[in-house]
Amino acid sequence: MKCRTCRGPAIIDLPRHNANFCAEHFLELCRRQVRKAIDDFEMFAPDDRILVAVSGGKDSLAVWDILVELGYRADGLYIGLGIGDYSHESEDFARRFADERGLTLKVVSLRDDHGFDVPTAAKATGRVPCSACGMSKRHLFDHWAREGGYDVVVTGHNLDDEAAVLFGNSLRWDVEYLARQLPVLAARDGFPKKVKPLVRLSEREMAAWCVVRGIDYIVDECPMAVGNKHLGYKEALNLIEEKSPGTKASYYLGFLERMSPLLAGVHERGTAGLSACTKCGAPTGAVGESVCAFCRLAERASTMAPVPVEMVVKKSAARRRAEKEVGR
Amino acid sequence: MRVILRNPRREIELTGRRRVHALLAELGLAREGHLVIRNGTLVPGDGELDADDVIEIRPVVSGG
């Protein structure tokens, strides 16, 4: 296999581009796709202060790496979610990445700073852990972006993430969620601007970026996310992608180009009626509530005894099979 | 060759040489969902793997 650009030995085949690339030209392709996303969607300006939501996984470390390489001023924020060893290891990867590059990483702990963690929140609400986890992360990223005076919050959502969310929203025809599924959410009513510079790059490309750049990241799946619907949608889309390379990109990018504009009115209607949380001051749209969803969750979960991760972990059939094979 | 798989971490031994896409097919793993790494370097789909290689097959879906 030869690199499409220089005809040197290729290290990766990208069926959706019907091409192979050497390390140098693969990295160049990724940078170009990120620059295109930033420019096309007007994500941020060269002087903007950027806060990257860092999880210790491949996507957040890759996007931070790429933005710094491209010359942007980007700091990181890591949130300790209290998901046992998984959280400890993720934090180590995030800290090591920042330390090795002399980057600024702020670390916040749900347990130490807010009196609860994700397993306990899942038990307290009786809902899937990803629900409390996502809500807590959004709240804290918004909060620290406001506190730190950042212009924009960057998340590492990639093409596969966005295609899977789009797939789920389409299966339910959830028009309000579809209308909000944009790579840029403008700042409004106390919420910071949020952007996703990796939407033109696949999960496989981001993992490859990290391998080529020598970035160590947490390869393990979050034990609480195993078997969730989102991962099932990704698997389904990958089956289609294998048969028909480029499907994920045309599905999601085509949605942005041709469907999103038709839903713009729905999006605007969905942003009406926000007020400030009487506890933390964050904007909240909860109907009939003066306290935001995060503060209500913290109030409820922080009075409970900590719940160990194992109590709320689900195992996928594939993982159970694999663990049986190795006698675990 | 020694093949290291992840999530959960485990190892298997295979005899003989084969290409990356053949190895993935043999193990029932989707190419779109995995990277094959030898000595810290990616190996593309038609890359040849030797009988004494140590290979990591890394799922690209990770994190939460």
pLDDT (0 to 100) of residue A228: 82
Asked if residue B64 is part of any domain, the answer here is: no
Asked if residue B18 is part of any domain, the answer here is: yes
pLDDT (0 to 100) of residue A328: 44
pTM confidence score: 0.93
DSSP A165: H
Which tops the pLDDT comparison, A126 or A137? Answer: A137
Q: Are A36 and A14 in contact (CB under 8 A)?
A: no
Burial of B23 (0-12, 13-18, 19+ CB in 10 A): buried
How confident is residue A49, by pLDDT bands cut at 50, 70 and 90? Answer: very high
Domain limits for position B51: 2-59
Asked if residue B20 is part of any domain, the answer here is: yes
CA angle A7, A9, A14 (to 5 degrees): 85
Q: What is the mean pLDDT of residues A121-137?
A: 91
Q: What is the pLDDT of residues A182-213, one digit of tens each?
A: 999 999 888 999 999 999 999 999 999 999 99
Return d(Cα A236, Cα A164) in angstroms, integer.
9
pLDDT (0 to 100) of residue A317: 52
pLDDT (0 to 100) of residue B62: 75
Q: Which two tokens stand for residue A37?
A: 């996303």
Asked if residue B14 is part of any domain, the answer here is: yes
* Amino acid identity at A263: L
Asked if residue B7 is part of any domain, the answer here is: yes
Q: What is the pLDDT of residues A72-94, one digit of tens each?
A: 999 999 999 999 999 999 999 99
E strands, A71-204, are 73-80, 105-109, 152-154, 184-185, 193-195
Residues pairing with A105 in the sheet: A76
CATH number at residue B40: 3.10.20.30
- Mean pLDDT lowest for which of A125-134, A252-261, A315-324? A315-324
Asked if residue B39 is part of any domain, the answer here is: yes
For chain A, the residue count is 328
The chain-wide mean pLDDT, for chain A, equals 92
Is B6 an interface residue toward A (CB < 8 Å)? Answer: yes
pLDDT at A326 over 60: no
CA distance A102 to chain B (A): 24
Is B28 an interface residue toward A (CB < 8 Å)? Answer: no
Give the residue among A239, A231, A188 at the shortest CA–CA distance from B32.
Answer: A239
pLDDT (0 to 100) of residue A170: 97
pLDDT at B8 over 90: no
Is B10 an interface residue toward A (CB < 8 Å)? Answer: yes
| Pairing, β B18-19 against β B48-49 | antiparallel
pLDDT (0 to 100) of residue A299: 94
How confident is residue A144, by pLDDT bands cut at 50, 70 and 90? Answer: very high
How confident is residue B32, by pLDDT bands cut at 50, 70 and 90? Answer: very high
How confident is residue A268, by pLDDT bands cut at 50, 70 and 90? Answer: low
Q: What is the mean pLDDT of residues A280-304?
A: 89
Q: What is the mean pLDDT of residues A285-296?
A: 86
Asked if residue B33 is part of any domain, the answer here is: yes
CA distance B49 to chain A (A): 13
pLDDT at A314 over 70: no
Q: Give the rounded percent of residues in chain A with a pLDDT score beyond 70.
A: 94
CB atoms within 10 A of CB B62: 21
Q: What is the mean pLDDT of residues A264-287?
A: 78
Contact A214 B63 (CB under 8 A): no
Q: How many domains does chain B have?
A: 1
pLDDT at A36 over 50: yes
Contact A220 B42 (CB under 8 A): no
- Nearest residue, CB atoms, A238 vs list B6, B32, B45: B32
CA distance B47 to chain A (A): 8
> Which domains, from first to last, does chain A contain?
12-216+230-325 (3.40.50.620)
Asked if residue B48 is part of any domain, the answer here is: yes
